[in-house]
Amino acid sequence: MDSTTAMQNEEEYAVQEPAWTYYERLSLALGCDSGSIGISSDMTLPDWYSGCFVNDKDRLKINVIGDSLQLRQMLEDMLKGDEFDMGVGLYSRNEQRAVTDSLLKAVERDSLRMNMSCGSNVDGTVHVTLEASGDSVIEAFRKDVFDSPLLRFKLADKVGIIFEKEEIEVNEKQADEQSYVDYEIRPQFPGGETAMISYIYDNLRYPEEAYNENIQGRVVVQFLIDVTGNVDSVKVVKNKDADLDAEAVRIVRSFPNLLLANLIRFPLING
């Protein structure tokens, strides 16, 4: 074996830095909190960023808008390495964010009577899944509820909900603790349940190990609201994975104070 062949073999079998390393560097470069890695829609993102994902080569692929050669050099400097791939996005994440916000407001205003979910595609489009069997519902949605060139529709027999809610009767804790009472009107997330779903989407930080192992699924949590509107006594009642369970609990514990009076009821948006 000559030296050239040996060098080629060494390069071929060299251990690459994992995709998570580059995702972490990208998240930090785009301004995430160092204690909570992830790219969320509440961050101020550059107009060239469309999305990212781990491809079938186990490399982070970053979709961009603009001069890919120039952006490639900028990203290599930003991420301190070149072991990532690039693709072309259709729309920026900022455009996607604006459409998603408008979509949720339109659904809330229309009091939609069907289950649906929506989320981000890595190319900058927005996927909307409707619980229905006929394509006519898509045309009706575009006409009567909301439409945009960014939307990508599909139908499903069943669209799951983010939270399974169970009414729990709690009258009072021990005298040395804060008292808990039953409310005639349920405590409400500020802005309604649509705002709660947006908050979850924006603040989700996928755990590193679950991300690497492609672990996903539903976690169901139960929690109480104290007399000041604070979330308390968060408990996982249907678990999936220890890291995913912990992330679900973290998000719920981070909720802002819930409203206890003068509530406006909004339809539940499934997703």
Cα–Cα separations (whole angstroms), residue 183 to 172, 194, 259, 262: 12, 21, 11, 12
Coil, helix or strand at residue 136: helix
Token code pair at residue 103 = 């979509």
Coil, helix or strand at residue 171: coil
pLDDT, tens digit only, all 271 positions of the chain: 454 444 444 444 344 577 888 988 999 999 887 766 778 767 889 999 998 887 878 888 999 999 999 999 999 999 999 999 999 999 998 898 899 889 888 887 876 666 777 877 878 898 888 888 888 889 999 998 999 999 999 888 776 443 334 444 444 444 344 444 444 446 667 766 666 766 776 777 777 777 777 676 778 888 887 767 788 788 888 877 888 888 888 888 888 877 654 333 333 333 3
Model pLDDT, residue 172: 42
Token code pair at residue 68 = 């890919």
Helix residue ranges, H only, the chain: 3-12, 19-29, 68-79, 93-110, 136-144, 193-203, 208-213, 242-253
Coil, helix or strand at residue 13: coil
**Identity at 120, one-letter amino acid code:** S
Crossing angle between the packed helical segments 68-79 and 19-29, to the nearest 10 degrees: 100
Which H or E element spans position 64? strand 60-64
Model pLDDT, residue 163: 36
Phi, psi (deg, nearest 5) at residue 172: -165, 145
Strand pairing category for 49-54 and 60-64 = antiparallel
Phi, psi (deg, nearest 5) at residue 145: -110, -65
Token code pair at residue 62 = 């970053």
User: Max alpha carbon distance in the chain (Å)?
Assistant: 81
Q: Provide the CA 11 distance to its chain's centre, in angstroms.
A: 36
Model pLDDT, residue 192: 64
Write the DSSP string, 196-255.
Answer: HHHHHHHH----HHHHHHT-----EEEEEE-TTS-EEEEEEEE-S-HHHHHHHHHHHHTP
What is the C-alpha separation between 123 and 62, in angstroms, rounded? Answer: 9
Model pLDDT, residue 62: 94
Cα–Cα separations (whole angstroms), residue 27 to 3, 31, 79, 138, 230: 39, 6, 10, 35, 30
Give bridge partners of residue 193 from the DSSP assignment. none
Q: Provide the CA 222 distance to its chain's centre, in angstroms.
A: 20
Model pLDDT, residue 201: 67
